[in-house]
Amino acid sequence: MSSHATVEAQVSDRQLVETRRGEIVRAAVKLFSERGYYSTTIQSIAREAGISVGLVYQYFREKDDLLYLSLKDVLETYEREIPQALEGVTHPLERLRVAIRTYCRVVDRLRAATVLTYRSTKSLRPERRRYIMDGETRTNRLLEGCLRECVAEGFMHPVNGPLLVYQYVHFAHAWALKRWAFKRRYTLESYVREGFKLLVDPFLTAKGRRVRR
């Protein structure tokens, strides 16, 4: 990880840093989402996390650190959980579906932080913003790999992979961004199933359609 991607803490116990930071970041995400990045103070984050302002400053130097770690956390969750979910899944079509479903589940769990990515990435310092964009590109490649495999093994027709992957990603993000439109109509699982009908099934070859879901 390059230096700009590191956030320094004054505490040396790694485990403690992780735990405390997790608590503080969760409080920050909640407030950034409710009030916006600029209107949220370190004071209010400390209050929300139930700790002192001085303690926050032992783990973070400035508000930009908090925003950066919040957004990085979402991306790292995709990069950790999608490969985990794919372990032991061998059929290319099943791998694609598992990857999309897992992406959607992470969005569901980290809804506030997902919305925050859209609202506040631009508030980050430029080199950190770059790092967040690169993280998104890496996650997209995970999905693209699954898609390419489906095409290579003749289960799907050739497609514009990068663009279809963006549709997968937007479909997943929409679960957080358009919550007001979707929450009464779908559960997460029914939303994902409807998504497959629009974004996977239409591209199946005859061989792909024969594969049992």
Residue numbers at the binding site for a second copy (CB under 8 A): 33, 36-39, 118-120, 122-123, 133, 137, 159-160, 162-164, 166-167, 170-171, 173-174, 177-178, 180-181, 185, 194-195, 197-199, 202-203
- Answer whether 143's CB lies under 8 Å from 169's CB: yes
Bridge partners of 204, per DSSP, are 156
Question: Closest distance between a second copy and the C-beta of residue 160, in Å?
Answer: 5
Question: Closest distance between a second copy and the C-beta of residue 52, in Å?
Answer: 26
- Answer whether 115's CB lies under 8 Å from 71's CB: no
Question: Closest distance between a second copy and the C-beta of residue 30, in Å?
Answer: 13
Q: List the beta strands (DSSP E) in 153-197.
A: none
Question: Closest distance between a second copy and the C-beta of residue 28, in Å?
Answer: 16
In this structure, the number of other CB atoms found within 10 A of the CB of residue 14 comes to 9
- In the bound state with a second copy, the residue whose beta carbon lies nearer, of 59 and 175, is 175
- Answer whether 113's CB lies under 8 Å from 73's CB: yes
- In the bound state with a second copy, the residue whose beta carbon lies nearer, of 38 and 109, is 38
- In the bound state with a second copy, the residue whose beta carbon lies nearer, of 89 and 112, is 112
The three-state secondary structure class of 12 is coil
Structure tokens at 164: 């279809």
- In the bound state with a second copy, the residue whose beta carbon lies nearer, of 89 and 199, is 199
